[in-house]
């Protein structure tokens, strides 16, 4: 009997495949929750295709360095490496938004916008708002995402969006408030 069995004895009907799957999935789920929290509270005004590419390559590179230093002969095409790379990429994505937003002490600029369209699914809403010409994006609209929020808006409602420039130079949505417009049939 080894020391790990003394701490947590293995049941006779436990499938080692599912136990290993749980060990691989737990860090990914925790990293996903951290990323969802940071992307909800410190959302970039606009995202670029290279954001995803940079985070993916960073996650792959970081996990490859760790894997090569700890297990030099381990294969890269494995569930262990995939889980480690996905966890690293999600945590890196969360870290980038946190480093951009938390040390940013510059004042927020407020932009009155109108809701063009919106959709909600379960406890998440995504609103596309049209902004003033001075909105700091290439297009005239931005997407405001809301997870677990009670601020729902209909097309035509006004939203006041506060945007900060970001410590890393990436503008982010500091806050937003819905000002509903009275619609016919809406109580």
Q: Are 131 and 158 in contact (CB under 8 A)?
A: no
Query: For the chain, which residues make up each domain, given as ranges?
Result: 14-101, 109-179
pLDDT at res. 143: 79
Phi and psi (nearest 5°) for 155?
-55, 135
- The secondary structure of 7-40 as a DSSP string is HSPPPTT--HHHHHHHHHHHHHHHHHHHHHHHHH
Whether the per-residue pLDDT at 9 is higher than 60: the answer is: no
Phi and psi (nearest 5°) for 167?
-65, -35
Whether the per-residue pLDDT at 187 is higher than 70: the answer is: no
pLDDT at res. 155: 82
Structure confidence at residue 132 as a pLDDT band (50, 70, 90) = low
Structure confidence at residue 56 as a pLDDT band (50, 70, 90) = confident
Structure confidence at residue 7 as a pLDDT band (50, 70, 90) = very low
What's the N-to-C CA distance of the chain in angstroms? 68
109-179, what's its fold? OB fold (Dihydrolipoamide Acetyltransferase, E2P) (2.40.50)
User: pTM here?
Assistant: 0.73
Phi and psi (nearest 5°) for 170?
-105, 110
As a whole number of angstroms, the distance between CA 33 and CA 30 comes to 5
Whether the per-residue pLDDT at 29 is higher than 50: the answer is: yes
pLDDT at res. 167: 93
Residue 41: how many other CB atoms lie within 10 Å: 15
Among the listed ranges 19-23, 79-83, 110-114, 163-167, which one has the minimum average pLDDT value?
19-23
**pLDDT (tens digit per residue) in 133-182:** 666 666 677 778 776 556 677 888 888 888 899 998 888 988 888 887 76
As a whole number of angstroms, the distance between CA 115 and CA 51 comes to 26
- Dihedral sign, CA of 124, 129, 134, 138? positive
């Amino acid at each position: 009997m080894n020391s790990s069995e003394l701490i947590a004895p293995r049941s006779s009907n436990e499938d080692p495949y599912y136990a290993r799957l749980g060990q691989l999935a737990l860090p990914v789920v925790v990293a996903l929750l951290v990323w969802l929290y940071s992307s909800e509270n410190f959302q970039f005004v606009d995202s670029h295709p290279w954001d995803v590419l940079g985070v993916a390559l960073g996650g792959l590179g970081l996990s490859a360095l760790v894997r090569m230093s700890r297990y030099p002969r381990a294969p890269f095409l494995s569930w262990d490496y995939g889980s480690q790379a996905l966890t690293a990429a999600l945590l890196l994505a969360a870290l980038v938004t946190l480093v951009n937003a938390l040390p940013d002490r510059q004042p927020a600029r407020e932009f009155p916008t109108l809701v063009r369209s919106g959709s909600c699914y379960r406890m998440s809403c995504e609103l596309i708002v049209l902004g003033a010409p001075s909105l700091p994006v290439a297009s005239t609209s931005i997407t405001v995402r809301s997870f677990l929020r009670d601020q729902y808006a209909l097309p035509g409602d006004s939203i006041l969006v506060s945007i900060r420039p970001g410590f890393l130079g990436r503008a982010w949505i500091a806050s937003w408030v819905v000002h509903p417009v009275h619609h016919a049939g809406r109580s």
